[in-house]
Structure 1
């Protein structure tokens, strides 16, 4: 009776070891939470109005594509896109929280109204206005959580910074963006 019990315990221990090693290998190769990839699309000049009295209003369309490489969902919280001009915040726009399914791409879009009355308070704006080009920076930070199999959870933060040149005469915008991801 003792010998059968030892064999049974040995077989159970070997099976438990095999299952544990299999789970660890799966976690560190396939199921390990990965950073979502965030790509900034070119900033669009959605609306531009101006008159001879110097009243100018600009609406920028900002779209960020997030690719969730995980086998679980990426949920991000409410956030805000900030527009700064010469280190002074001149506009912002809210971004609603959402969930990005596993192995999927998701576009996050927002429109930002930039009013020149805020820009006019910043020193040097008159020179930029006369040159016809206004350079602003659009920055967006998404704080979220990657969840795999409802067991493994990891916090992730993605930051996107776009340098945007608004060409007033041509009524167009160009942008160069940098994306950083932190765990």
Structure 2
């Protein structure tokens, strides 16, 4: 083998080793996946009225939802149509449709949706009357968003985002606050 060919092979091997080290170090630091932050903000509670005893308990109530998703990653996330379930004391009392969307890398996106509460299930739940009279309701929403992580608009691999939000509704002030926990699985 000629000396020039040996030097070329050595230079190529050195280049590939440096490139591999750079890719590994970037994937473990800068490109390391971070958990997205999702916050649910119910609005339209000023029109929410509960009449006890309920005259028509088969009615549904719709509450507007503003969902803020902050993606701190250097990769985007594209998810499919899904729905979040709203639980009150372990009973499913509503659903929030979540439409398919692409969340770009390192961005913050606001999504509006509606929460459809089934009033007969909510009112029939054990403890509802006590919570209502105390002036607050605590609900939990859970969503599973299957989708794909998109890196540089070229590489795509499957991932699922699981989100759980605790939503506290203050009946007297017609306000609500939420605290969400989000986990992404690759």
TM over 0.5: yes
Conserved? CA contact 1:40–1:160, under 8 Å: no
Look up the SS of the partner of 1:120 in the other structure: helix
Match of 2:117 in 1: 114
Equivalent positions of 1:42-121 (< 5 A) are 42-44=41-43, 45=45, 47-49=47-49, 54-55=54-55, 58-121=61-124
- Runs of 5+ unmatched residues, structure 1: none
Look up the SS of the partner of 1:34 in the other structure: coil
**How well do the aligned residues superpose, as a CA RMSD in angstroms?**
2.9
Match of 1:34 in 2: 33
C-alpha distance in 1 between matches for 2:51 and 2:68 = 35
2:8 is aligned with 1:8: yes
Look up the SS of the partner of 1:70 in the other structure: coil
Match of 2:163 in 1: 159
After superposition, give the CA deviation of every residue in 1:62-105 in whole Å (9 maximum; x if it has no partner).
Answer: 32221222222111222212122221111112111110112211
93-102 vs 18-27, which moves further = 18-27
- Normalising by structure 2, we get a TM-score of 0.76
Deviation, structure 1 residue 152: 6.2
- Runs of 5+ unmatched residues, structure 2: none
11-20 vs 66-75, which moves further = 11-20
Structure 1 pair 146–174 and aligned structure 2 pair: CA distance change class (3 A) = same
What is the total number of aligned residue pairs between the two structures?
A: 180
C-alpha distance in 1 between matches for 2:72 and 2:111 = 16
